[in-house]
Amino acid sequence: MQYRTLGRTGVQVSALALGAMNFGAIGRTTQDEATAIVDAALESGINLIDTADMYGRGESEEMVGKAIAGRRDDIVLATKATMPMGDERNRQGGSRRWLVTALDDSLRRLGVDHVDLYQMHRWDPRTGDEETLSALTDLQRAGKIRYFGSSTFPAYRIVQAQWAAREHRLSRYVTEQPAYSILQRGIEEHVLPVAAEYGLGVLAWSPLASGWLSGAVRKGREIATSRAKSLPDRFDLSLPHNRARLDAVERLAVVADEAGLTMVQLALGFVTAHPAVTSALIGPRTLEHLHSQVAAADTVLSADVLDAIDEIVAPGVDLAPHEKFDTPPALLDASLRRR
């Protein structure tokens, strides 16, 4: 396992990190299975575990907490907030009112007195940067979080938050967690250069593109990944962008075969090859998934392989741009365009 410095924090984290979104009802993963996955991940050298309050409405955090009991100090523990946690309108967002409560709830579910990295799951356009950053800074000074970061922020919001922290003399975001894979390379245009400019650690999620790059999706086969069942539109081959993804997967499979790699090794090796990326977040649902992904931990792609990937999916290109999660709210909510 390779280890890298998380931004400018000095903290050493594994090049592959364990994402716990599939723990619980979402991935139909029991507590015993989740604990076995955590055990195997730690044995492989993974030392960063990432979860969020909204994964199963707290179920993932509870399962992670039970799985790491007694070995908290060996783990860089990360969680997230801001997504809705109930029907009450103030149980979401980046306000001080909610973040103080949300963090206490997460600490209780995790069974710990602090988390190493607390991330804003999405940018909250209704809350000013100073409000959020001041709350996070106070929580940091209280010892409940060591560092804080952002997730799926557009590049301009990453910059704005850095400037707001400087202007108001507050602590700053030290990480960004964007979606990134061979099939979704849009963040190479702005987000990754901005992260590098400000010295942010980058934790890339969905490096297997929701299963498209797992090796299970090929022409002539029934698509039977768990995501195909829960998100059928993402695998509907009557849609042009999905046909484009399948064509790319077929060409990438040839590249992998010629290089003596599995598709998983190609996909994870590509993400961790980018100099701005600190870790690729894997989200195994089973031990078998974990073992196949950990096998890619030390994969280093040659320049020829990276060039071949560029010919299939050009740098900065998203094959399914409508699936991006950092679209400015004003483009999604008509009320923000017609005030």
The pLDDT tens digits of the residues spanning 75-105 come to 999 999 999 999 999 999 999 999 999 999 9
In what helix (H) or strand (E) does residue 117 lie, and over which residues does it extend?
strand 115-120
In angstroms, the CA 99 to CA 53 distance is 11
Three-class DSSP category at 115? strand
The pLDDT tens digits of the residues spanning 244-276 come to 999 999 999 999 999 999 999 999 999 999 999
CATH number listed for the domain at residues 3-210+262-301 = 3.20.20.100
In what helix (H) or strand (E) does residue 137 lie, and over which residues does it extend?
helix 129-141
In angstroms, the CA 83 to CA 64 distance is 19
Name the β-bridge partners of 68. none
Give me the mean pLDDT over the 165-182 stretch.
Answer: 97
What is the CB neighbour count within 10 angstroms for residue 71?
A: 11
Identify whether 3 is a catalytic site residue: no
Quickly state the pLDDT bin for 339 (edges 50, 70, 90).
low
* Tokens read off for 259: 């290089």
Quickly state the pLDDT bin for 65 (edges 50, 70, 90).
very high
pLDDT at 212: 93
Largest CA distance in the chain: 57
156 has pLDDT over 90: yes
The pLDDT tens digits of the residues spanning 192-247 come to 999 999 999 999 999 999 999 998 888 877 776 666 666 777 888 888 989 999 99
**C-alpha 225: how far from its chain's center?**
19
Q: Would you call 219 exposed, middle or buried from its count of C-beta atoms within 10 A (0-12, 13-18, 19+)?
A: exposed
- The one catalytic residue in 3, 55, 147, 156 is 55
